[in-house]
């Protein structure tokens, strides 16, 4: 199989790249290296340093002739989207449209979309948590969540009009090795990097905001499962478990034992209070479920950063 990964030099995309190569597939990566890193590239992958909105993407398709696309390239930071909504829209929505136009032109068989679940559903009442896939989005909280949700609609429309199979995977908060601790997203990577530098981490708000953390290795397995899934569909990829920001810090500190105390700052615009995603549909239909619990995942992540610090 010939697989093209957009955003394949990034955190999640590079892990999918490695898995596909291990399975014997031919892989090409498109990445503008805005957040991706060359050191994440597998030497067996063909690399195109390119923005997915660039007209030269047509040449990539004509040269590599992908059969399947794993679409991860995105503007993926909530705070950035709140300050730059038009850029967020252009990258996430227009980028998807251009990708699907080329997928139709070059007869791509399938597109597997890395969507957000954490920002998709917005603010919800406690009775809607864990959140199921068909929960109405009545109160979105960020431009990022809206642009990624809109891109899924374009995926569905193009797929159905142009006969391109598709699967949308709505991720909870993904964490693990290779996540950038210098960005505004990825609290586990950020806290770990801060503590290793003997700096004081800051929690936005009182620390009782909760998220659903899913390990990157489990996310990769969901993508692999989606390859042979026979329907057009969308799934929450999650653990269905609430973890507070305070618990995140305490779990990391229990591994590193720095003695550093966390500080609290103001709430961050665009962040919902609680996000936990129901994964029943993925278990029942996709045949996927998370295998790495939070404590084990944090341990693996901390070990990676400690070795690469």
Q: Write down the H helix ranges in 120-264.
A: 143-162, 187-196, 216-227, 245-256
Check 48, 144, 213, 234 and give the catalytic one.
144
Helices marked H in 24-65: 57-64
b/e sequence 172-201, b meaning 16+ C-beta within 10 Å: bbbbbbbbbbebebbbbbbbbbbbbeeeeb
**CA torsion angle 250 256 257 262 (round to 10):** -40
Active site residue 234: no
Nearest to 293 by CA among 218, 199, 195: 218
List all residues 6 or more positions away from 91 whose beta carbon is below 8 Å from its beta carbon: 53, 73, 74, 75, 147
- Residue 185 CB-half CA count within 13 A: 22
| Secondary structure in 3-state letters for 188-202 | HHHHHHHHHCCCCCE
Residue 140, SS3? Answer: coil
Phi, psi of 179 (to 5 degrees): -70, 140
Token pair for 150: 């809109």
Largest CA-CA distance found in the chain, in angstroms, rounded:
57
Active site residues: 144
């Amino acid at each position: 199989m010939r697989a093209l990964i957009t955003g394949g030099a990034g955190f999640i995309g590079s892990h999918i790249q490695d898995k596909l190569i291990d399975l014997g597939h031919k892989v090409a990566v498109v990445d503008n290296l805005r957040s991706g890193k060359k050191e994440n590239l597998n030497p067996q992958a063909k690399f195109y340093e390119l923005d997915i909105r660039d007209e030269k993407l047509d040449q990539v398709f004509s040269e590599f002739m992908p059969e399947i696309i794993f679409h991860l390239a995105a503007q993926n930071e909530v705070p950035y989207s709140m300050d730059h909504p038009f850029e967020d829209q252009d990258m996430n929505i227009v980028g998807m449209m251009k990708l699907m136009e080329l997928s139709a032109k070059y007869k791509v068989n399938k597109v597997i979309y890395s969507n957000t679940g954490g920002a998709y559903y917005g603010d919800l009442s406690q009775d809607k948590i864990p959140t199921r896939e068909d929960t109405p989005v009545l109160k979105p909280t960020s431009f990022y969540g809206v642009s990624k949700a809109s891109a899924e609609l374009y995926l569905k429309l193009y797929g159905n009009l142009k006969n391109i199979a598709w699967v949308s995977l709505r991720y909870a908060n993904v964490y693990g090795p290779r996540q950038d601790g210098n960005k505004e997203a990825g609290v586990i990577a950020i806290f770990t990097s801060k503590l290793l530098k003997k700096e004081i981490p800051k929690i936005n708000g009182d620390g009782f905001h909760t998220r659903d953390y899913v390990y990157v290795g489990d996310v990769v397995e969901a993508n692999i499962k989606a390859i042979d899934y026979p329907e057009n569909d969308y799934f929450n990829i999650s653990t269905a478990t609430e973890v507070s920001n305070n618990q995140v810090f305490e779990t990391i500190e229990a591994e590193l034992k720095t003695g550093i105390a966390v500080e609290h700052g103001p709430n961050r615009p665009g962040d919902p209070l609680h996000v936990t995603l129901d994964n029943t549909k993925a278990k029942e239909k996709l045949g996927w479920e998370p295998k790495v619990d939070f404590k084990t995942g944090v341990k693996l992540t901390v070990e990676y950063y400690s070795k690469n610090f």
